Every structure is written in structure tokens, then in C-alpha cells.
Structure 1
Amino acid sequence: MQITATTVSLTVDDVAASQRFFTEHLGYSEQAAAEGFASLTRPDAAADIVLLARGIEILPPEQRDQRASGLILAFTLTGIEGEEKRLRDAGVQITMPLREEPWGERLFQVTDPNGVIVQFVEWVAPAIQVGDWVTSAAE
């Protein structure tokens, strides 16, 4: 098997609202679209996104009334402070401010108009404590 791309499919109430959010703020472009459907892509390593309208017949009957929930769409990047500032300046609500976890993960979150949580992550060397000294694992 050779995987040539990764795509995440999200079921939402308003395809156009999520499509605008991902294209205007996150650099995606439309690859294909039809009633209740949009396929979005980026030229880098980010996963492609398919947006499907809740209730669309292409979904299995037991999934047609579900929405994307309990899901975090996470993107790993560099320059996380600049990205948070760019999104904030563009009027995107930061739903989890930038923070750093003890294991070396720096992250913040935004939420699209359909409630899809998008998390941005940058990895740094975690601080470790040896005796009375605190140092970076990269040192």
C-alpha cells in the first residue's frame, strides 16, 4: 500500500461557513464542491478536508444526523506566536489561549463556525528537573 494523501471528513450543519473559515483563515483552497459538499486542500503537508452537510445521503444512514464533535483537528507548525497573532488580528476568536505543557507542547485553539476545534501545536524541548537544576531536554 502507498498512501498518497490524508483527508479528514467532517460532517457539519453549514458547509459554506466552514469552507469560508478554512479558506479565509487557514490557507485552504477549494478542490471541488457541490450541494452539501466541499473538498479543501493545501499545498503543504496538512491533511485535506472534506466537508459534508449533515443529513447528506452519501453518509451511511446511522451517521447522517451526526456532527463533527469530540474531535480536534490539530496542525503542527513553527512560529506559533505569530500564527496566533495573525488569527487574532484577523478577528478569529482564540478559544484556548497559547499555553505550554510540561511535556514540551505549545498550543492554542480556535473553533470554526460549526464548532470544529482546530488546534495549533509547536513542539519545544520540555524542561526537566535534575536535583535542584531545571534545564531543557535539548541542552
Structure 2
Amino acid sequence: MNIIGSTIVFTVDDLASSRRFFTTHLGFREVLDSPDFTWLSRDDAVADVLLHQRDLERPRERIAQPVVAFAVTDLAREHERLRAEGAPIVGRLRRTPWGEWLLRLTDPNGIVVELTEWIAPGGHPDGS
């Protein structure tokens, strides 16, 4: 098998607010937009995101909170940019015990977006 692309699909209550979040704060662009779904992409190697409008006539099922993680470079700079934009950052930029820096955002529909950067032991995401 040769996988040549990936798409992450999220079912959301408010399609427009999630579309704004991903295009404003994470640099995605609209490829296709319809009343039922929006396909978002970037020019780098990240997976595409498909936002699907939840059928509001059906009862909401109990599902796990959706999470998508993106590995980035210069997370400290991204943290400052996102903070200046007023992005919905959850918690603080922190280092995990297994050697990565982690920042979490939450989109208006509850999608948790983790931005991560691997750092050498003892290092900081700003290179110091």
C-alpha cells in the first residue's frame, strides 16, 4: 500500500466557526465549500481537514472529544502569533516529559488542536 494523502474528518455543529478557526489561525485555505461540508487544505505536507456539518435533526451521540495534532517548527513564535491574534489557546506552552513542546487550542466546536515541536533534552522551543 502506498498512501499518498490524508484527510481528517470532523463532524461539527457550526461549520462556519470551525472554517474561520482553521483558516484564520492555522493557515488552511478553502478548497471546496458547501452547505454540508468544507474541505480545507494547506500547501505543505499536513493532512487535509474536512469539516462536516452535523445533521441537526439527529440526536447528538456521545463521542470522544476530537483531537488533531500538527508538528510545527518554531512553536514559541507560533505561540506569540496565536496569542496576538486572540486565538483560543488552552493552557500554556509547556514541555512534556517525553521531550516535546506542546500548545493546545480549541476551535469553537470543541476540536482540540495540538501544536507540537520536538526539542533536544534541556532545550527550549525558542532555541535557548
Q: TM-score range by the shorter chain?
A: 0.7 to 0.9
Q: Residue 90 of structure 1 corresponds to which residue in structure 2?
A: 85
| Contact 1:69-1:115 within 8 A present in 2 as well | no
> 1:6 and 1:56 mapped to 2: Cα distance?
27
Q: Residue 4 of structure 2 corresponds to which residue in structure 1?
A: 4
Q: Residue 115 of structure 2 corresponds to which residue in structure 1?
A: 120
Task: Determine if the alignment matches structure 1 residue 106 to structure 2 residue 109.
Answer: no
> 1:38 and 1:67 mapped to 2: Cα distance?
23
> 1:24 and 1:12 mapped to 2: Cα distance?
17
Q: Residue 24 of structure 1 corresponds to which residue in structure 2?
A: 24
Report sequence identity in percent. Answer: 44
Q: Could you tell me which amino acid in structure 1 is paired with residue 36 of structure 2?
A: G
Q: Could you tell me which amino acid in structure 2 is paired with residue 52 of structure 1?
A: H
Shift of 1:124: 1.1
Q: Could you list the runs of 4 or more consecutive aligned residues of structure 1 that deviate by over 2 angstroms after TM superposition? A: 64-71
- Give the match's secondary structure for 2:10: strand
Task: Determine if the alignment matches structure 1 residue 80 to structure 2 residue 92.
Answer: no
Work out the number of aligned pairs and report it: 122
Structure 1 gaps, min length 5: 128-139
- Give the match's secondary structure for 2:43: coil
Larger RCO, structure (CA 8 Å, separation 6 or more):
2
CA RMSD across the alignment: 2.1
- Give the match's secondary structure for 1:50: strand
TM-score (norm 1): 0.80
Map Cα deviations across residues 78-110 of structure 1 (whole Å, 9 max, x no partner): 100000100000011211210011221110101
| Contact 2:103-2:116 within 8 A present in 1 as well | yes
Q: Could you tell me which amino acid in structure 2 is paired with residue 41 of structure 1?
A: S
